[in-house]
Amino acid sequence: MRYIGLIIGWLCLGLSVYAQTYKVGDVIVNKDGSQGVVFWVNAEGSEGWMVALHDLPRPLKWGRLRDDVPELENVGSGSGVNELSKIFKGLADTSGYQNTLKLRKYQGSGTQYPAQLVDFGNGWYVPAAGQMRKLFTSMNSIRTVIQNRGGDALKVGRYWSSTEYDARAAWFVYCHPGELNFDTKDSVLYVRPVRSFSVRDVKYDRTLAYKWNSGQRDPGITVYPGRNTEYEVEVTTAAGCSNKASRQILVASGNDTTIVGYVCPGQAYTENGFNLTKADTTYIFGLQNAGGCRKTVTLHLYQKDTVMTVINEDICQGEMYHQNNFTAWESGKYVQTWTGSNGCDSTVVLNLKVHPLGRDTIEAAVCEGKSYTENGFNVSSPGFYSQNFQNIFGCDSLVTLHLTLNPVYQDTVFAVICQGENYTQHGFNATSPGCYDLRLQTFQGCDSLVTLHLDVLPVYRDTLEVSVCAGDVYTGHGLHVGAAGFYEDSLKSITGCDSLIIVHLVLDPVYRDTIPAVICQGETYAENGFIVSSAGYYRQYLQSVAGCDSLVTLDLKILPVYQDTVTVMICDGETYTEHGLNTGIPGYYDVPLRTVAGCDSLVTVHLILNSVYRDTIPAVICQGEIYSGFGFSVSDPGFHDRLLQSEFGCDSLVTLFLTVNPVYRDTIQAEICTGEIYTGYGFTVHTPGYHDRLLQSVTGCDSLVTLFLTVHPVYQDTIAASVCEGHTYSGNGFVESVAGYYDRELHSILGCDSLVTLHLTVHPVYRDTIPAAICEEEVYTGNGFRVSDAGFHNRLLQSEYGCDSLVTLFLTVHPVYRDTIREAICEGDTYRKHGFDVSEAGIYNRRLQTGNICDSVVTLDLRVNRTYLFASSTSICEGERYYFRGRELTESGRYEDVFVTEKGCDSLYRMDLVVTPLYHHVIEASICKGERYAQNGFYTGEAGEYTRHYYSVYACDSIVTLRLQVIDYFKGKIASALMDCHTHEYLFSIEGGEQPEAVTETYVWDFGDGVTATDREVSHVYPDSGRYQIGLAVERGGRCEKSVQYQLEVPYYRDHFPIESYPDALDEDWAKVLLQTECYADMDYTWTLGDGYTAKNCEVTHKYEIDDRDYYEITLAVRNADDCLTESRLRLPVYHRITPPNTFSPNGDGINDYFMPGYQVRIVNRNGVEIYKGSDGWDGTYNGKQVAEDTYFYEIFYQAARGIITKKGFITVAR
């Protein structure tokens, strides 16, 4: 974008000058902060239109259907307006702002239509059709700019304009391909706002860099030039692109000034600070500015001339006149007001005449063999021929010749008349059957030969029994009646002969019936037009035998069919007679049965034949055993019989032949030596005594062998012997004198080896001196001595082993001591010297040992000197001082002071001091708003901190501080939001009522269905729709409780709505359908009918314009009060009317050989005889032979919306 801004100050007169221009693609930042991209500007670049960066948030309806806005012109609608003219009228509308203003005034502020939702207060509006089309054509130029600014290009879809077509429709532009068209006002389309601008509306773009030749860098500057000066500015974008603009400023002198001014008629002269309306006048003014400059200004004011221009133009139909700023395509007078070169409005009048394009068709005919030579044509073949001409206005005209070639006939006319009539057509006059020739001229003037083949048909008199469904009207035979009875009508037979028909009209009932039915499992219910095999409800629209629509509902239940196998066992020789059988042969037998419900069931009997046994059992036992097999309990040998039942209950005879084998008992005696193992007779033992071994005889019977084993000892003996040193041991065959171990091997009388070991000890002979000591007055009695004198003493002894030894005693005698100690201690002390531990006065003895281990006696004479305790206690208040024996005390505790008596004993002064505190008690309390705190001597209802002084029992001051909090009651309210349509889950929260700081809140929700919760924000699932009273109790600070109520309407919701249609199919005759579903209050029903139309309500009626499609896809969107959407669909079939040919050629050439293949047809010849009836068309035969070329009556039966339809007519066979 390029623009220049100058704010210029005259020396004595102020003047502001702005000069700005724009181009397509420029970005404009508006005063309200919104942005737009220019998509059209005028030639000067000073005015134009900008488009918003985004569509409105969602597609919208234009307005109410069939709601004509009175102040808006219906552009393009009306009779006699062709499609091209409509388009041109739509393109010519560029009054989007005025259109939007009128729509807002008419529709009202509460509606949700585009004109109400655009930001009209800031200049945005819905574009008119011409503006919207211009926006589309400019989109390629501005798409990148919009996207770079974070906006969106136009979507591929339809956008509303503010141009109204008529009461039902409005204009839109289809992006892409840019088609201008109109649609019903209740269609939902996109909307893109636009805004008009002029240079005075635009702010400076602060994203650009400005640099003036005077040095300033602001978009606008203020200068005070002293002379004429040219100012130049260079504007640079962030990308480095720059542009320059300049302005020449002329500075007036301070002398008197004469100004010549011009004004247009009816306008005021406002330049140079004047505001004058009277032209052709001279004005003189004396002026003085703020700086004191004075001057005289003379203004000569003249009126400018105005100009009127008249343009006369001719165009051809379909062309557009697009010159001199006019856009027109219809004849008429068009007026525009322009600003002329002198600045005054000038009037331009366009007189436009539209000349029609000649479009003419000439219908002409010639006889076969002749040529058409008129109007510049020369042709002889039938067809269409065109030639172009120009009329006197230069407009193209097209002449089309439609030439028909009339044949020259040589024809045979097959005709039929009724009995008693004359055949008078084609110039004939005949009453009898036969052939007649006549040469005629056709009405086109061509000669023809006509041969008449005349048949005479009888005239009938008949009574017709007919019926219609109750509620229908019978319209056949010229009648229009709905009541039963007899009616007469004169008709023509299929051969065209008058007949008298008496119609006996019978009314057939219309049925609504429910059929309860039951079938067996696996069967198919195929009655009454149903073919189903599953249980449930089925509907079918049927025709009764009388052809009346009936609704049959089938309630089908399925009964089970049982298939079971029974396994049966009998004994050999028995007969099985149950389940209808009588047999004794094993195998599988199928027995068909019927359940109580009448369903076939199959029981398969598996018959098993169990044997009857005759058996002999040979058995053997050992002597002393009992045979207990097969139910026997015997021990005697021989034959034993027993009658048994087999496991299947069949009698059997078992004979036991029992053999008893002997059992053996034997004892064996044996001897071994200690350490050997006895291994005879299968034994492996080494301990003496009885050993048993169980064996089996050759007959398998246990036998007992007992071994009595004797184990003779093997002696291993050690002989301990001793001798004195110098002697020899000679016992037990040994001769030894040296200490040690000696072995000798011997045999016992039982032949077992024995070992004797000699352990010989040699004892020494002693020579010893014993030193000893005793105390004075003691006697030494050790080692056989008894002496008390000190010195050497000898004694001859025997050692403990009997060996002689000499012992010498050296005896020492030590002295014994006696001593007394006198001591004194202080009261409370303990004497702990010389081994004493005493605290009371007295004499104490203690026996001690000297260093020579001789007893000595120490006597203690102890005295106890007295000590003194002076104890006292007192109390002071916190902050006071107490002085004790020269010390300053301020804290509670026990304090002591020690002194020494003349005896040297410590004595004590003790003080127990209690410091009584000055109490400062803080009470944290809260009350609810409106209450008063009346405890602990306080009485207040305002929040704050309060203090009171007291005296304690110790006469000390105490302070009590109350910190009181006043809690306001909860003032919020309940808010709810739907979370899940299917489950009726809602989120409940608190709106307003923020929790105060440091105040606890508890919550109790009552959801109105017996369920409660305690969180601040909770979700809850309701079991069903309905109206619920929600309660919330909020307690603050544990005591201030407030309850609020909220009424929630939980709307009914279904995840599927069944769609029923009446009828259930369409055709050209039954194009109107009733669509209905279940109706609930407070639900919005929107039908999308598959043909571009929509409808509201739970039951709608719609008429379709039947086209070539085979079905219509119908969608039902149901929204409940919570905006929960349920969509259901129905495919409505369409049957099409058939168009039979009037001739066919069954000649076997593969072309047109069959009449209506695939349809059920009935053919009757001209004599009223039915010659064919079939379901796959007619091949032109009767009883296998080709029929004659003739005209035949047919009936075609085909499917339509109301059932099978019969179509009647004539078909000609021509080969």
CATH (domain of 1091): 2.60.40.10
As a residue count, the chain comes to 1215
- What is the rounded distance in angstroms from the CA atom of residue 904 to the CA atom of residue 891? 32
342-399 pLDDT tens trace: 667 777 788 888 887 666 778 888 888 888 888 878 888 888 787 776 766 677 676 7
Instruction: Report whether 221 contacts 249 (CB < 8 A).
Output: no
Residue 307's identity, in one-letter code, is V
CATH (domain of 1172): 2.60.40
Give the number of other Cβ atoms within 10 Å of residue 967's Cβ: 21
- What is the rounded distance in angstroms from the CA atom of residue 414 to the CA atom of residue 293? 120
In a domain, 825, yes or no: yes
C-alpha distances out from residue 722 to 597, 725, 730, 768, 803, Å = 121, 9, 11, 22, 11
Give the number of other Cβ atoms within 10 Å of residue 803's Cβ: 19
pLDDT of residue 652: 76
Rounded to an integer, the average pLDDT of 617-631 is 88
* Cis amide prior to 176 (ω within 30 degrees): yes
pLDDT of residue 828: 82
Residue 98 phi/psi, 5-degree rounding, is -65, -40
In a domain, 501, yes or no: no
Instruction: Look at 317 and 621; give whichever has higher pLDDT.
Output: 621
Q: Are residues 1088 and 1187 in the same domain?
A: no
Q: Reply yes or no on whether the pLDDT at 570 is more than 90.
A: no
Q: Are residues 594 and 654 in the same domain?
A: no
Rounded to an integer, the average pLDDT of 1100-1116 is 93
Q: Are residues 351 and 362 in the same domain?
A: no
Closest CA to 223 of 499, 54, 15: 15
Residue 206's pLDDT band, with cuts at 50, 70 and 90, is: low
- What is the rounded distance in angstroms from the CA atom of residue 879 to the CA atom of residue 975? 60
Q: Facing residues of 1138 across strands?
A: none
Going by their DSSP bridges, the two strands 1185-1186 and 1191-1200 should be labelled as unpaired
- What is the rounded distance in angstroms from the CA atom of residue 543 to the CA atom of residue 527? 14
Residue 1011's pLDDT band, with cuts at 50, 70 and 90, is: very high
- What is the rounded distance in angstroms from the CA atom of residue 690 to the CA atom of residue 382? 147
Q: Are residues 1129 and 1148 in the same domain?
A: no
In a domain, 806, yes or no: yes
Place of tokens 């053997």: 620
Least reliable range by pLDDT among 246-255, 262-271, 1165-1174: 246-255
Q: Reply yes or no on whether the pLDDT at 8 is more than 60.
A: no
Residue 796's identity, in one-letter code, is L
Residue 256 phi/psi, 5-degree rounding, is -60, 150
**Where does 776-892 show beta strands of DSSP type E?**
791-798, 804-814, 818-826, 842-849, 855-865, 869-877, 882-884, 887-889
pLDDT of residue 4: 36
Instruction: Report whether 403 contacts 385 (CB < 8 A).
Output: yes
DSSP state of 413: E
Closest CA to 1206 of 1151, 1152, 1138, 1157: 1138
Residue 11's pLDDT band, with cuts at 50, 70 and 90, is: very low
Give the number of other Cβ atoms within 10 Å of residue 368's Cβ: 13
Give the number of other Cβ atoms within 10 Å of residue 1037's Cβ: 18
In a domain, 478, yes or no: no
Instruction: Report whether 162 contacts 128 (CB < 8 A).
Output: yes
Instruction: Report whether 793 contacts 785 (CB < 8 A).
Output: yes
- What is the rounded distance in angstroms from the CA atom of residue 1157 to the CA atom of residue 1174? 10
User: And the tokens for 1061?
Assistant: 């249609």
- What is the rounded distance in angstroms from the CA atom of residue 547 to the CA atom of residue 1204? 9
pLDDT of residue 609: 83
Q: Are residues 73 and 151 in the same domain?
A: yes
Q: Which of 595, 630, 661 is the last residue of a domain?
A: 661
Q: Are residues 752 and 778 in the same domain?
A: no
416-457 pLDDT tens trace: 888 888 888 878 888 888 888 887 676 667 877 778 878 787
Q: Are residues 81 and 155 in the same domain?
A: yes
Instruction: Look at 286 and 1062; give whichever has higher pLDDT.
Output: 1062
Instruction: Report whether 72 contacts 104 (CB < 8 A).
Output: no
Residue 715's pLDDT band, with cuts at 50, 70 and 90, is: confident
760-797 pLDDT tens trace: 998 887 778 889 888 887 898 988 889 888 898 888 77
Q: Reply yes or no on whether the pLDDT at 1 is more than 60.
A: no
Element (H, E) at 58: none
Q: Are residues 833 and 788 in the same domain?
A: no
The three-state DSSP-derived secondary structure of 956-1017 is CEEEEEEEEEEECCCCCEEEEEEEECCCCEEEEEEECCCCCCCCCEEEEEECCCCCEECCCC
pLDDT of residue 7: 31
pLDDT of residue 410: 72
Q: Are residues 538 and 590 in the same domain?
A: no
Instruction: Report whether 889 contacts 881 (CB < 8 A).
Output: yes
Give the number of other Cβ atoms within 10 Å of residue 447's Cβ: 12
Residue 410's identity, in one-letter code, is Q
- What is the rounded distance in angstroms from the CA atom of residue 279 to the CA atom of residue 263? 7
1080-1103 pLDDT tens trace: 888 999 999 999 999 999 999 999
* Cis amide prior to 1063 (ω within 30 degrees): yes
How many structural domains does the chain have?
15
The three-state DSSP-derived secondary structure of 595-606 is CCCCCEEEEEEE
Residue 904's pLDDT band, with cuts at 50, 70 and 90, is: confident
pLDDT of residue 339: 65
Q: Are residues 73 and 180 in the same domain?
A: yes
Rounded to an integer, the average pLDDT of 591-604 is 78
Q: Are residues 186 and 59 in the same domain?
A: yes
- What is the rounded distance in angstroms from the CA atom of residue 532 to the CA atom of residue 515? 13
pLDDT of residue 150: 93
Average model confidence (pLDDT) across the chain = 83
Q: Reply yes or no on whether the pLDDT at 159 is more than 90.
A: yes
Find the helix packing angle between 129-148 and 83-92, rounded to 10°: 60
Q: Reply yes or no on whether the pLDDT at 16 is more than 60.
A: no
pLDDT of residue 227: 66
User: And the tokens for 147?
Assistant: 């996207």
Rounded to an integer, the average pLDDT of 834-851 is 84
In a domain, 173, yes or no: yes
To the question of pTM greater than 0.75 for the whole model, the response is no
Instruction: Report whether 915 contacts 952 (CB < 8 A).
Output: no
Residue 3's pLDDT band, with cuts at 50, 70 and 90, is: very low
24-74 pLDDT tens trace: 999 999 888 899 999 999 988 888 999 999 999 999 999 998 888 988 988
Residue 287's identity, in one-letter code, is L
Four-point Cα dihedral 554, 560, 563, 569, nearest 10: -150
Residue 514 phi/psi, 5-degree rounding, is -115, 125
User: And the tokens for 724?
Assistant: 């004195």
Give the number of other Cβ atoms within 10 Å of residue 774's Cβ: 21
Q: Are residues 1153 and 1210 in the same domain?
A: yes
C-alpha distances out from residue 659 to 615, 639, 704, Å = 17, 9, 21
In a domain, 1167, yes or no: yes
- What is the rounded distance in angstroms from the CA atom of residue 631 to the CA atom of residue 654? 10
- What is the rounded distance in angstroms from the CA atom of residue 175 to the CA atom of residue 255? 64
Cα Dmax for the chain:
209
In a domain, 785, yes or no: yes
Q: Reply yes or no on whether the pLDDT at 288 is more than 60.
A: no
Least reliable range by pLDDT among 535-549, 637-651, 1175-1189: 535-549
Closest CA to 1 of 33, 34, 36: 36
Domain interval for residue 954? 924-967
Q: Reply yes or no on whether the pLDDT at 965 is more than 80.
A: yes
Question: Percentage of the chain with pLDDT > 90?
Answer: 30
Q: Which of 998, 1017, 1050 is the last residue of a domain?
A: 1050
Instruction: Report whether 571 contacts 610 (CB < 8 A).
Output: yes
Sheet containing 906-916: which strands, arranged edge to edge?
A: 869-877, 906-916, 893-900
pLDDT of residue 222: 59
Going by their DSSP bridges, the two strands 887-889 and 842-849 should be labelled as unpaired
Rounded to an integer, the average pLDDT of 901-926 is 84
Closest CA to 146 of 36, 262, 244: 36
In a domain, 1086, yes or no: yes
